[in-house]
């Protein structure tokens, strides 16, 4: 992981920890993004719902990279995506790096949207 990515990631995690407490991991950040994208406010998700929320977040995060396309919401109001590109074969460290870059971009995009 390059130094700029590492610094941006540490800065983002510090900001998130101010709200959610120290020691937050990437999986928890992905879950938080899923809850945000679902748009239903706080609720106590079941184990299956947590997996669905992480899927929502992953699709949202990888959509700008051309891997998913948002298609709308299902009857229960959950966002849906179609796969439009195959993910390349990556090593676990490379997967985490792509997700960190996508999470940083997501937060930058949403912070910009809030300032207008």
pTM: 0.88
Query: Measuring CA to CA, which residue among 22, 69, 20 is closest to residue 31?
Result: 20
Q: How confident is the model at residue 114 (pLDDT cuts 50, 70, 90)?
A: very low
Please give the pLDDT value at position 115.
37
What the block records as the tokens of 87 is 């993910």
* pLDDT tens, position by position, 43-94: 889 999 999 999 999 999 999 999 999 999 999 999 999 999 888 888 878 9
Q: Quick one: average pLDDT of 26-52? A: 92
Residue 31 has pLDDT above 60, yes or no: yes
Q: How confident is the model at residue 112 (pLDDT cuts 50, 70, 90)?
A: very low
């Amino acid at each position: 992981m390059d130094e700029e990515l590492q610094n941006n990631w540490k800065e983002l995690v510090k900001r998130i920890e101010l709200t959610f407490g120290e020691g937050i991991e990437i999986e928890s950040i992905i879950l938080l993004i899923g809850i945000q994208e679902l748009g239903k406010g706080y609720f106590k998700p079941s184990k299956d719902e947590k997996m669905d929320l992480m899927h929502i977040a992953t699709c949202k995060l990888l959509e700008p990279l051309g891997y998913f396309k948002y298609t709308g919401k299902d009857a229960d109001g959950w966002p849906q995506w179609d796969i439009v590109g195959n993910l390349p074969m990556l090593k676990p460290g490379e997967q985490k790096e792509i997700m960190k870059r996508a999470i940083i971009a997501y937060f930058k995009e949403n912070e910009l949207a809030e300032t207008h």
